[in-house]
Structure 1
Amino acid sequence: LIESAMYLFRATGDHTYLQLGLDALESIERITKTPCGYASVKDLRDHQLDNRMESFFLAETIKYLYLLFDPAHFLHGGGREGDGSWEEGGEGGQCVLGAGGFIFNTEAHPLDPAALYCCSRHTQDRQELQDILLSLSQPGERPDSQSQQAEGPPPNRSDSIVLKPGEKKTAPPLSCPVQPFSARLAILGQVFTDNT
């Protein structure tokens, strides 16, 4: 609700959303405040509290409340050009980060779109994509098809979608291989497999 109020206020400038945020803030202060933080509401009928504070309360609710009432905050991207920006490596050696605007993931962590673009393997990805599109647009003619015909097909490559006995499926370009299920369980960086 608070996230929606923040975005709606930014989009419309309607002070109704500020009032909604103020009402939410007053309710949080009046109902959920405890001597050591803010508790979850266990029962809405009598405002009975649970003996815990959810992590999303600090990560999302408080962050969006703060941003609702601070429209000039740098996370909104409203600063002057160049305020707080810096250059890092990227394609061509330079990438300007912090130049304005952030997007939030589902846990309300701010992400700089320039960092998402610049910190990727942009050049390599673009070349792989061009190669794939070129091979798809010219099914009979590939740029290096003459050399491939002379040398034969590359290993583990077949035009058939059926795997031969003993043949392993290889990941196509622009994909990430999936971890085996046993490697997905980790505690503090320590991976536990079926063998341990």
Structure 2
Amino acid sequence: MPNYYLHLNGQVQGPYTELELQNIHADQSLAPDVQVCAEGGSWAAYTSLFPATSPALVQTPPADFNPYQAPQANIVVERADAAPQSYPGIGRAMYFLLAILINVAAAVMQAASKSIGVGIFVGLFALVPLQSRLKNIGRHPAWCLLGIVPLVSLFVTIPALLLPAGYQQHRTLDIPAKIIASLCMLVLVLVVIGLFVR
């Protein structure tokens, strides 16, 4: 890294490293046309050698600037007449239909073969529409792997039946989702009552 010399008040000062020179320029508020020479080079204006640190490019923060303040979010409000956004994957009705068909096929094949392995193998195909549905509501498709685990699978399959397309973005339930949620709560209450009534 070359050394630099400053020409100030009719005197040559230096040698300075590039960092030292930039610090001197910042601390002493040197004029942009102060003459600087690299060792073995010719004299030139400071701003021609170091344009990135010239005063025109250095921005000072406003007086009320607070470096500890949280950044301001740019909130975009969608218009009510905007075209509805389409989401990848399959919708609620198609998911429900495919899940029923695959589970019925798994039960029939298990009963016909009298082997639980065949039913489990066919039941794994239910993960395909589940991952597509999870993509539709805005969740990562890998969550469908929880569909393999008994009871834990309810935390994936119920939202897949319940949530509308793009739920992760808008976080609002539509009327069918509210009806399905009410039915799920009713079934849950009936199951709990059935456990204690016996």
TM (normalized to structure 1)? 0.22
TM (normalized to structure 2)? 0.22
Larger radius of gyration between Structure 1 and Structure 2: 2
**Larger relative contact order (CA 8 Å, sep ≥ 6):** 2
- Choose between structure 1 and 2: higher helix proportion: 2
